[in-house]
Amino acid sequence: LQPKMHLMLAALRWRVPIISALGAGGKVDPTKVTYGDISETEMDPMAEFIRKRLKKQFGIESGIGCVYSTERPNYSACKDSGDSLYKRSYYGTVSYMPNLFGLHMSAIVIREIGLKT
């Protein structure tokens, strides 16, 4: 997640609009996918981790657009990877959720471009 956070930091410093897809893992309800500022995210363990790290490392609390799900994560979908060096666990992701996050992001970009022309 460190590269993702550095990309967010660079975008804010250079005043480049950015949208980040956050935790789709353990989620299955497409009606709960939404867009908002990173400070508004809820029910998303990945967003919470990134929010805390951005604040601690860079002093950033808001200003990053995010696509996330307000669905409570299915904790039974969390699996232990058994890897002590890298990620210790991961959430299984149903096939359509990452695609849905991408579609939301595309719609936001197209809408923003349309508003500027």
101 or 77, greater pLDDT: 101
Structure tokens at 93: 């992701």
d(CA 85, CA 57): 22
**From the CB of residue 71, how many other CB atoms can be counted at a distance below 10 Å?**
18
Rounded to an integer, the average pLDDT of 34-51 is 90
Which run of H or of E encompasses 106? helix 96-116
* pLDDT digit string, tens, across residues 7-31: 999 999 999 989 999 888 888 999 9
pLDDT (average), residues 89-98: 77
The whole-number pLDDT of residue 80 equals: 67
How does DSSP assign 3-34, residue by residue? HHHHHHHHHHHTT---EEE---TT---GGGEE
Confidence (pLDDT) at 74 = 73
What per-residue confidence (pLDDT) applies to 85?
56
pLDDT of res. 46: 85
Q: Alpha-carbon distance 19 to 100, whole Å? A: 14
Q: pLDDT tens digit string along 45-79?
A: 888 989 999 999 999 999 999 999 999 887 776 66
Q: Are strands 78-80 and 89-91 parallel, antiparallel or unpaired?
A: antiparallel
44: left (phi over 0), alpha (psi -120 to 50) or beta: beta
